[in-house]
Structure 1
């Protein structure tokens, strides 16, 4: 052996699974995960989502049992998306005391009081035009939408939500919701702001799942995928308005944004592994091109390395079950 051979052999700590576990820098656990659910008020049996294999639109009457199962498997937070059959031009069902948003939250909290229940605050699933707010002369009216978001947030809080997640990318939405919640006595309810939400091609599977397609697009209010500085400015503004979490959506294509926000903010940071990311992994795994479990855990690790404290992912229940049956937290 040459005397000049490096004294540090990095492979020493990779020789056995136990050594690899000992020095693993990034761990995945159910504490990191939020599971999104699609709840359809108009069906009696689960409907498979063709663009998202393995996922379903859940009948409202089955929500309680689904929440209890997720809790039994170790998950601690869910994000709720409603598929409404009572749509109108402004999404008014979302701020009714007996509307779908209120019913979903109430049911979930009653089923598992310890579960963190986070309703998505938006209007695309509840409007007959599919946009994320009030539409005037073909454009979303930002300020009129803010008033409705405040009403939606208060109804969700009254139903038991500990956190709300505004996703419409309206200017000033965090401040409007914070003011409305505080005025109604819900100072303790947190806001997970979709702070940097991009106009992404990867939302297609979600739109099928949530029945929120539309003519046109949402480019007028969601971020340009090519703009990093604008994303950082959006996050900075949401933090100043009172956000408790900052979210980046989608996940893998925007790790640079996630990392930059982590560098400049002390708030908890979330990322959303969206429907297109889920579908790409699922369809590739079904074809035999990749190993699903390894790929899922590798992507979750990438989010955590980039700075995410919390990950919203449709794989959350699968990961919980994998971790319950394995001593290898990375699965690699």
Structure 2
């Protein structure tokens, strides 16, 4: 079968899309094979303690108070991988209370002590990158090689902030009077509400939780309801690393209820969110009520500009290698192509 092509700008070739060979095995056979392999992986993860289905509050694995559960599906075939606790306002408020209580002791540890815990967490993530990669593929759907790559990428954030924990320096300010000394001490803000998307279920957590823990904050994580299993596995490893109970909490389920509870609580002093612009606006507006700090990573726009003096073959090869990364939903994927014609 001849490859398909997309043409833009005066007939100039921009991206070549290769069609799938026609001799693929029947879809029903592939679906059945995927189902069997996925179930085998799920069983292995469950037996090794990686397939957690309860929320983590105050260091304890807890069911939803009303007993409700949420189905997590394998995107390859739509089958149910697991039923996880479907949490809401009450569970989120308890998670916040646990994080607030843990903050009092976690923030008082020395930078070296926090760094040691984070380094241990990093070591455990690296040691279990195969299992974590399998879990990401199972619930998110990206190829296993790409999923394991995400685990390594995710671990790098923990490694980096484990070292940065020891380098949170203050400042000396020149005083206007000779008998005065002015200096700035950096203090952790408190409980951080962390809301993450489905496309990078581990990396989006570690890049937010790593710096928060490093400087002495505690966290309440709300992962995507589509991919909660990876977040729960990462939280399990945080406990094994010696991060105190309550410093890391995970609640999943009713997104609007959990988000509203995080926004409304005066004990939550910062919100960090990756997702849509519409939800980001809502979080920013809601945070004003309790004057929370907010960090938002919202919808991206990444055009690819190809100038008239570029080597077109090299440009095509470069776009082909990255355009489909993360199923095309990564923010670095090209949203449009602009070709300069003269």
User: What TM-score comes out, normalization by structure 2 length?
Assistant: 0.27
Tell me the TM-score normalised to structure 1 length.
Answer: 0.28
